[in-house]
Amino acid sequence: MKKAIIFTLTALFCFIDINAQDVLNEDMNSVYKKEKHRNKKTQTYVALRQADIMWSRKIWREIDLRQKINHPFYYPENDGVGHTIDDRKSLIDVIYTAIQEGTITAYGNAAMDDEFREPMSEDEIKKIGGAKEELIEVIDWDAVAAGADPEEAKIMRSNIVPFNRNTVKKWRIKEEWFFDKQRSVMDVRILGLAPLQEDRDEVNGQLLGTFSPLFWVYFPEVREVLINAEAYNLVKNDAERRTYDDIFWKRLFGSTIVKESTVSDRKINEFMVGLDALLEAERIREEIFNIEHDLWEY
């Protein structure tokens, strides 16, 4: 009986010690245990009825990650090979990892289709951003050391080219603005996200100054991943980190309107360039504001 009690107590203490060690390893990078953003739940959208929507319009925006306010979306950098810090990831890292794990669905033909009609296959996902696995010819130096001729000791070896996430410098957002007469508010909901990669000349590898979408993801589905993914707080307070879902919900980012739903379904840069394109984007923004303003009587 005494031996059984001793054995039970020993096992209990070992279990406690192991759990304590796990907690210690988990929180060695902080003076306190971080639990705030680990089990958060997404805030549910208010239910809408078609009869209550008096007005709506789809808008496409682009978030330029080179702007300071948008830096939390880009950093920390990850070329697909190097180690990144553990307490946060860039937006493309979070979404790309979730796609690889099968948590969310990526939709292909992104340049032509932004209506989520073509889910990407596993082979297409492996090739996102130029990632590929190729066979290259290398010299088997072990065979050469054993006396073989270097020309005859050549073998084929698999070489994996990873997706360089640092090439994603912009994000495209598809959203819908609407006026809900039930609540008497002008509101907006994001429908989709698409990472934009810098285009390069295939011959010499030089940047072309243009961007192409890699894939689209359905934002309501992605929210379940973003709600627990921490982003850096630009006011330099690590105790008040936000998640990416918080940033999108509170619209704490800078963006430029690049398209609105029209009869011709054209982007602004297809009929205006330079300053005129920026002025057109500002005109669309003011028009949405004025529509809400005109619905009220004073």
CA dist 142 and 7 (Å) reads 53
pLDDT for the residue numbered 146: 73
Range of the domain at 230: 47-107+163-294
Question: Does 251 reside within a domain?
Answer: yes
CA dist 75 and 202 (Å) reads 27
Question: Does 265 reside within a domain?
Answer: yes
Question: Does 206 reside within a domain?
Answer: yes
Question: Does 169 reside within a domain?
Answer: yes
Share of the chain above pLDDT 90, in %: 57
Whether the Cβ atoms of residue 232 and residue 102 lie closer than 8 Å to each other: no
CA dist 61 and 79 (Å) reads 26
| pLDDT exceeds cutoff 80 at 22 | no
pTM: 0.82
pLDDT for the residue numbered 131: 86
Question: Does 133 reside within a domain?
Answer: no
* 108-166 confidence digits (pLDDT tens): 999 999 999 999 999 999 999 988 877 666 677 677 677 777 676 676 677 788 899 99
| pLDDT exceeds cutoff 80 at 73 | yes
Whether the Cβ atoms of residue 96 and residue 106 lie closer than 8 Å to each other: no
Residue type at 103 in one-letter notation: T
Question: Does 24 reside within a domain?
Answer: no
Question: Does 136 reside within a domain?
Answer: no
202 vs 252, more confident: 252
Question: Does 184 reside within a domain?
Answer: yes
Phi, psi of 264 (to 5 degrees): -90, -10
Q: Between the CA atoms of 253, 113, 266 and 258, what dihedral angle is there, to the nearest 10 degrees?
A: 10
> Quick one: which of 71, 88, 96 has its CA closest to 242?
88
Give the mean pLDDT of 80-108: 89
Total count of domains within the chain = 1
CA distances from 293 to 128, 137, 176, 179, 279 (A): 43, 67, 18, 11, 21
Peptide bond into 162 cis (omega under 30): no
* 215-261 confidence digits (pLDDT tens): 999 999 999 999 999 999 888 888 888 899 999 999 999 999 999 99
Residue type at 152 in one-letter notation: E
How does DSSP assign 134-166, residue by residue?
EEEEEE-HHHHHTT--TTT-EEEEEEEE---GG
CA dist 96 and 104 (Å) reads 9
Q: How confident is the model at residue 31 (pLDDT cuts 50, 70, 90)?
A: confident
Strand partners, 56: 178
Q: Which helix (H) or strand (E) holds 278?
A: helix 274-294
Whether the Cβ atoms of residue 63 and residue 168 lie closer than 8 Å to each other: no
> Quick one: which of 290, 285, 279 has its CA closest to 260?
285
3-state helix, strand, coil in the chain (%, to 5): 35, 25, 40
